Structure 1
Amino acid sequence: MQLGNNIQTLRKKKGLSQEKLAEKINVTRQTISNWELGETAPNPEQLILLSKQFDISIDELVGNDAMPSGSSRENKSTKDIYIGLIVLCGIVACVWAFSANRFRYVEILGITIAGAVIGACLGRVIHGILMYLRNDKK
């Protein structure tokens, strides 16, 4: 029954009627209704089309994982923010320490790591701001 609830929730979240979703995955409106009521279930090909339509994994769709707060694309972009800031701050710190020409290599390594930690902290702050803005829109 969780699959049916997930389909209905995701469909409504995307602002699609049963008829519009049915058109997009080449089934009838009644088929969508039956899935949402748990009377029938989509076949593997239809699960693939649904997961692409909703931009989530099949595991998330069928309920093998807890429903995520965002799509997998959003989760990837969050990781990209963290990694980008960690690398950027680490490189800036390393270049600064190296160009200052007054630090030993061990100290430069420490400054680089400190820069990466600052980047991780900035990533967390930005992530918090983005979550706040997302929740504020709802």
Structure 2
Amino acid sequence: MNDDERSEKMDLGKNILTFRKSLRLSQEKLGDEIGVTRQTISNWECNLTTPDAYQLIALANALHVSLDSLVGHSQESFLVEKVTNVEEEIMKANRLLKISIYILVFVVVLLIFVFISSN
């Protein structure tokens, strides 16, 4: 995942703004629905502050979206991230296996050389 995708995924403020506007809610109306001020909504949308867990739940309910959608996680992106992590672990394991094989071959060749030299 590149930096653009990561910042887009993690831009909670942008998501709040987008979902709020799609419902044609003002910052004041949304704030009233979840018990915060218009300024608080503005601060969240500008990523100056972030809502706490209870406020996130209230936001998701008020905006009629899941928490995952609100914070920018979809099932698809979650699965892609998990598969990518597994692939990276497999690549690391393969590199370690190759190194181990090279070391084993070197030791065997060295032992053969020592055995031949001693006879």
* TM-score bracket for the superposition, by shorter chain length: 0.5 to 0.7
Q: Which has the higher contact order (CA 8 A, sep 6+)?
A: 2
Which ranges of structure 1 fall in alignment gaps of 5 or more residues? 67-138
Choose the corresponding residue for 2:50, options 34, 41, 44: 41
Q: CA RMSD in A?
A: 1.3
Structure 1 residue 45: deviation in Å? 0.4
Residue in 1 aligned with 2:29?
A: 20
Distance (whole Å) between structure 2 residues aligned to residue 18 and residue 65 of structure 1: 25
After TM superposition, the score normalised by the length of structure 2 is 0.53
Distance (whole Å) between structure 2 residues aligned to residue 57 and residue 42 of structure 1: 15
Q: Alignment identity in percent? A: 55
After TM superposition, the score normalised by the length of structure 1 is 0.46
Q: Which structure's CA Rg is the greater one?
A: 2
Q: Does residue 64 of structure 2 align to residue 55 of structure 1?
A: yes
Distance (whole Å) between structure 1 residues aligned to residue 40 and residue 67 of structure 2: 18
Matches within 5 A, 1:49-128: 49-65=58-74
Distance (whole Å) between structure 1 residues aligned to residue 37 and residue 63 of structure 2: 18
How many pairs does the alignment contain? Answer: 66
* Structure 1 segments of 4+ aligned residues over 4 angstroms from their partners: none
Q: Secondary structure of 2:18's match?
A: helix
Structure 1 residue 54: deviation in Å? 1.4
Which ranges of structure 2 fall in alignment gaps of 5 or more residues? 1-9, 76-119
